[in-house]
């Protein structure tokens, strides 16, 4: 709604105006396809694109502060405490015979309200710290423990087995050059002993070779690449972050990213691979007591239902 005041127009009879001739309407040429920013959804590979996606996720964490503060301001418990303080101020003013001094009463009441809002601002400031702490370690398996296990990982790399694993996949939605959506997908390998037994069989087959150094190394490299491709079979996809820029929410961008996450997971882990949200996802940190986290729990339920609908569509299409 515009704040510009509408001018009051009245009749003007001191001058006769000539009849208005119709002015030619501006003819805007149709937009070329090149002038419309393209909407793309893909797996991000460049570091600047991944950094932009992580910044978008960090912004979504910081936005939780506004949602939490708004909910806390109108929550019955703190609101009742504020009303009790205001009632105590009024009784104090009445007892001190200052009930007729409206300025003093309003000053005390406004001070109580400002203290109430500042306290809420302080209590919800933890979301800003969580947003600032989001770094590259978030998309690295065992990122927080990686520094403590650096020596062990270096030894494992010398032996040819890395425990850290690759970075999580980041699905990004771009509208032109702007990153408007991001989804972090971790493809987890099956937690069974079949993969270890398969590696042992591959090693035994390699040791039983013909003794030719070049043939053994080429065959070993082919087996390693083949085992890496099949290492995710039977695994599952875990969504660790899912967000859309605020102005594009409700436009279907988030649903498209969920469909792409399901497609990538079942393409790499198998047609019946499970896909779900991580228990500790990017927006799962709650800085307030549980009784004040109802909006976030409701949002998690809505996200779970959206993923269920996507999985239902995928299973129905598979049949």
Give the chain's domain count.
1
User: Is position 157 within any domain?
Assistant: no
What is the pLDDT tens value at each position of the chain, 319 positions in all? Answer: 444 443 444 444 444 444 544 445 445 555 555 567 889 999 999 999 999 999 999 999 999 999 999 999 999 999 999 999 988 888 877 766 655 567 777 888 889 999 999 999 999 999 999 999 999 999 987 654 444 444 444 444 433 333 445 889 999 999 988 999 999 999 998 875 444 444 444 444 444 444 444 444 445 555 554 554 567 788 999 999 999 999 999 899 999 999 999 999 999 998 889 999 999 999 999 999 999 999 999 999 999 999 999 999 887 776 6
User: Is position 153 within any domain?
Assistant: no
Res 201: pLDDT: 47
User: Is position 169 within any domain?
Assistant: yes
What sign does the dihedral 173-179-180-184 (CA atoms) show? positive
User: Is position 61 within any domain?
Assistant: yes
Instruction: Spell out the residues 6+ positions from residue 308 whose beta carbon is closer than 8 angstroms to its own.
Output: none
Res 165: pLDDT: 59
User: Is position 55 within any domain?
Assistant: yes
Degrees (nearest 5) of the Cα angle 172, 224, 276? 35
Q: What is the Cα–Cα distance from 113 to 82, expressed in whole angstroms?
A: 7
Neighbours of 129 (CB within 10 A): 13
Domain that holds residue 54: 41-139+165-190+230-318
Res 26: pLDDT: 46
User: Is position 12 within any domain?
Assistant: no
User: Is position 29 within any domain?
Assistant: no
Which contacts (CB < 8 Å, 24+ apart) does range 289-298 have?
291/77, 292/68, 292/71, 292/72, 292/75, 293/68, 294/71, 295/67, 295/68, 295/71, 296/64, 296/67, 296/68
Res 163: pLDDT: 40
* Closest to 242 measured CA to CA, from 142, 172, 176, 137: 172
Task: Please tell me whether residue 250 adopts helix, strand or coil conformation.
Answer: coil
* Closest to 85 measured CA to CA, from 119, 111, 120: 111
Res 303: pLDDT: 93
Res 127: pLDDT: 94
Res 318: pLDDT: 63
Res 24: pLDDT: 53
User: Is position 154 within any domain?
Assistant: no
Q: What is the Cα–Cα distance from 14 to 167, expressed in whole angstroms?
A: 78
């Amino acid at each position: 709604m515009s704040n510009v005041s509408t001018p009051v127009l009245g009749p003007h009879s001191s001058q006769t105006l000539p009849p208005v001739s119709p002015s030619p309407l501006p003819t805007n040429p149709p937009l070329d396809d090149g002038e419309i920013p393209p909407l793309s959804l893909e797996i991000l590979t460049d570091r600047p694109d991944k950094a932009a996606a992580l910044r978008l996720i960090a912004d979504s964490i910081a936005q939780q502060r506004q949602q939490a503060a708004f909910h806390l301001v109108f929550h019955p418990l703190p609101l009742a405490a504020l009303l009790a303080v205001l009632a105590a101020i009024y009784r104090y003013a009445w007892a001190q015979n200052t009930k007729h001094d409206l300025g003093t009463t309003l000053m005390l009441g406004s001070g109580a309200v400002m203290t109430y809002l500042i306290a809420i601002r302080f209590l919800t400031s933890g979301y800003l710290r969580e947003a600032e702490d989001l770094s590259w370690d978030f998309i690295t398996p065992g990122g927080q423990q990686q520094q403590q296990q650096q020596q062990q990982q270096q030894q494992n790399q010398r032996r040819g087995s890395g425990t850290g694993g690759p970075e999580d996949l980041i699905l990004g939605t771009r509208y032109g050059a702007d990153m408007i959506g991001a989804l972090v997908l971790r493809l987890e390998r099956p937690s069974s002993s079949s993969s270890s037994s398969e590696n042992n069989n591959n090693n035994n087959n390699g040791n039983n070779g013909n003794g030719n150094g070049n043939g053994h190394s080429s065959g070993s490299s082919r087996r390693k690449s083949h085992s890496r491709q099949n290492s995710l079979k039977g695994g599952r996809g875990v969504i660790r972050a899912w967000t859309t820029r605020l102005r594009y929410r409700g436009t279907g961008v988030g649903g498209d990213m969920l469909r792409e996450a399901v497609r990538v997971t079942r393409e790499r882990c198998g047609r019946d691979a499970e896909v779900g949200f991580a228990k500790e996802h990017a927006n799962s940190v709650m800085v307030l007591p549980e009784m004040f986290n109802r909006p976030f729990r409701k949002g998690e339920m809505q996200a779970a239902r959206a993923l269920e609908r996507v999985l239902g569509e995928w299973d129905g299409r598979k049949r």
